[in-house]
Structures are given as structure tokens and as C-alpha cells.
Homo-oligomer: A and B are copies of this chain.
Amino acid sequence: MAFEFSGDSPIYLQLIRMIRQRIVAGELAPGSKLPSVRDLAVEYGVNPNTAQRSLAELEREGLVYADRTSGRFVTRELGLIEKVRKDLASEQIAQFIQQMQSMGFESEQVITIILEKWREQYGNH
């Protein structure tokens, strides 16, 4: 596939964020099997070592686990997934508010733009 990574940060970090995101979004279901290190590397167009590094970090977080020769799986600890989801959301929101505020936007203005763009991107939900 050869996904296009940004040169702004290390690939292994970008890969961590992408997989973490797909997990908390439910796109990668709890307990479901992940591609093998080698397949994941091919899928994203990176070196197996880089994929391994990202997976090892996600494992450290507890979001995935490895069964020695059957492969890697998304954790079944729904509580953990939900916690990570909430933490990510909180962080996102705090950073977002800080940025917009420092650029001189008012809360009402931001709300208006968000609702507008949200509809543009995904319809009214």
C-alpha cells in the first residue's frame, strides 16, 4: 500500500497513533487479530523493524498483546480502550481550545465554524 507518512515526526510514532486511533475508534475490534509484523510492514510500506517498534509500544500501553506464534491481537479490556479514548479526546480538546483561543477566536465563533464544517464533512451527526 505504501501509506504516505509525514516527515514531521518519526514514522514509528505516526504508526502508533494510527493504530491506536483505529482501536479506540472501534475499527479494530477488541480481540481481533492484527496483521503480522511483516504484513503490517508491507501494508504501510515501512520496514518490519519499524512496525515491530510501533507494536511493541502499543503492547506496552496494553492496547495489544502478542501470543508467541499465533500473532497479535487487540486487547479485550474494554475499560482500557475506553480510558485511552477519553484521554485522547481530552487531550485533543484541550490543545484545540488553547490554539484557537491564542489565535484570538471566541468560543461562539469556534462553535459556529465547527457545526458548519462538521455538516460539510459528515452530515448532521
Q: Give residues in A with beta carbon < 8 Å to B.
A: 8-10, 13, 21, 24-26, 85, 88-89, 92-94, 96-107, 110-111, 113-115, 117-118, 121-122, 124-125
Residue contact B121 to A103, C-beta cutoff 8 Å: no
- Chain B positions within 8 Å of A99 at CB level: 21, 88, 92
Q: Determine how close the nearest CB of chain B comes to the CB of A59; give it in whole angstroms.
A: 20
Known: A9-B8, A9-B9. A89 touches B118 (CB 8 A): no
Q: Chain B residues near A111: list those with CB within 8 A.
A: 111, 114-115
A114 to chain B, nearest CB (A): 6
Residues of B within 8 A of A100 (CB): 89, 92-93
Nearest-neighbour CB distance to chain B for A101, whole angstroms, equals 6
